[in-house]
Amino acid sequence: MTIMMDTGNRIAAKAAVMARPEVVAAYPITPQTTLVEAIAEYVAHGEFKGEYICVESEHSAMSACIGASAAGSRTFTATSSHGLLLMHEMLHWAALARLPIVMCNINRVIGPGWNIWVDENDSISQRDTGWIQIYCSSNQEIFDTVIQAFKLAEHQKIILPVMVNLNAFILSHTSMPADIASQQTIDDFLGRYIPHWKLDIDNPTTFGNIIGPAYYYKIRRAMQEAQMHAKHLIPQIAKDWKKTSGYYHGGLLEYYKCEDAEHILLSMGAIGAESKIAIDELQKAGQKIGLARVRVIRPFPTEEIRKIGKQADLIVIDRNISVGLEGVLFNEVKAALFDESGTKVTGFIAGLGGKDVTYKDIEDMCQKAIQGKTKEQTWYGMEE
């Protein structure tokens, strides 16, 4: 185990290379660019032996990954914001084709107006493509999650692509220490990739042909079943990684000081990390409040949300907005609790476009929710 002090992007690149993908497809977009540049440096130094394909667009990057994965190769790519949107068609293709591609997405605003800072609308808008979606809150978690993502994607009960999300600049360009497992440890954990299906000239099969309603229905159902299996496998793979590396990042939710809580805060990404400080301060002030940081939004942790909803009233902070409805996490939490009528859920939308959300802001939101001074969902900070 060695310590690496570097940015989230470069630590993600380190994890990707150590997973030994046979193909990496790369196209730059701020603030993801330094991630694929770091992989290019590994190529230049002879530390990455796979195929590094520089393509002409993000659509081509995902198309290259689809071709490589369909041919039986472990694959990786990265993108952000408009790049992720340009991939949209091929995200559906990768999931429906049951290809275990791993991708890092650096959460960045969608324009116009043009803004390179963070919110989660890019990945949130892709939540129905069939990709598993995980949200990280530290550089250590980024490293561990990228490694685990390959294990999860390639598991015989899953065989779906995985998107690892990290907030622009707050994580992508901020240096923090991460313990890096040895190459042998990662090799032993992941094993040699053996595809469950591939295009094979010696065993030809028809792929991607016209399919009727009865069979197409089965494809969609199989994807849903794989997502449900992931609910159980994500924590199990994390436990296996802890035995190997000593680090645990991998539950659907990360619980922090939730014992005997009367209120539980739900948040994601970097706000989830900042929330821990707010919870400490609120508890010092006598509030019975805890944190359940949401790591995985697809598959959605419905059962765990229902469990904590029976224990406490919930406060939700969204760094996204489903325009015409509400913050997505807030809405989906309420949907999970539709038959738990006794649970109060209060929501806030905050931090869109990179607007800073400090632990003091989080404290303020929680206090307002506890005191009943807000509507069902409030745009926080708009008074400025």
Residues 284 and 336 in one domain: yes
- The sign of the CA dihedral 225, 230, 231, 236 is positive
Q: Among 115, 96, 92, 118, which Cα is nearest to 105's?
A: 118
> Does residue 308 belong to any structural domain of this protein?
yes
Vertex 185 angle, CA 184 and 186, to 5°: 90
Q: Among 306, 313, 354, which Cα is nearest to 30's?
A: 354
- Domain of 321: which CATH number? 3.40.50.920
Q: Among 352, 346, 342, which Cα is nearest to 373's?
A: 346
At 42-66, the pLDDT tens digits run 999 999 999 999 999 999 999 999 9
At 61-73, the pLDDT tens digits run 999 999 999 999 9
Residues 317 and 362 in one domain: yes
For residue 242, pLDDT beyond 70:
yes
The pLDDT of 295-307, averaged and rounded, is: 97
Residues 219 and 257 in one domain: no
Q: Among 175, 176, 103, 167, which Cα is nearest to 137's?
A: 167
Residues 213 and 273 in one domain: no
Mean pLDDT estimate for the chain:
96
pLDDT of residue 237: 97
For residue 382, pLDDT beyond 90:
no
For residue 74, pLDDT beyond 90:
yes
pLDDT of residue 206: 80
Residues 296 and 206 in one domain: no
Is the peptide bond preceding residue 112 cis, with omega within 30 degrees of 0? yes
> Could you tell me if 135 and 273 are in contact, meaning their C-beta atoms sit under 8 angstroms apart?
no
Residues 64 and 186 in one domain: yes
List the helix and strand counts (H, then E) for the chain. Answer: 13, 15
Name the residue range of residue 212's domain: 2-245
CA 327/CA 351 separation, integer angstroms: 12
For residue 209, pLDDT beyond 90:
no
- Domain of 70: which CATH number? 3.40.50.970
At 105-135, the pLDDT tens digits run 999 999 999 999 999 999 999 999 999 999 9
pTM (whole model) above 0.85:
yes
Torsion-angle region of 144 (φ positive above 0: left; ψ -120 to 50: alpha; else: beta): alpha
Residues 77 and 155 in one domain: yes
User: What's the total number of domains in the chain?
Assistant: 2
CA 178/CA 12 separation, integer angstroms: 11
> Does residue 150 belong to any structural domain of this protein?
yes
Share of the chain above pLDDT 90, in %: 91
Q: Which of 211-215, 272-276, 331-335 has the lowest mean pLDDT?
A: 211-215
User: Any idea of the CA torsion for 135, 137, 142, 146, to the nearest 10 degrees?
Assistant: -20
The pLDDT of 301-313, averaged and rounded, is: 96
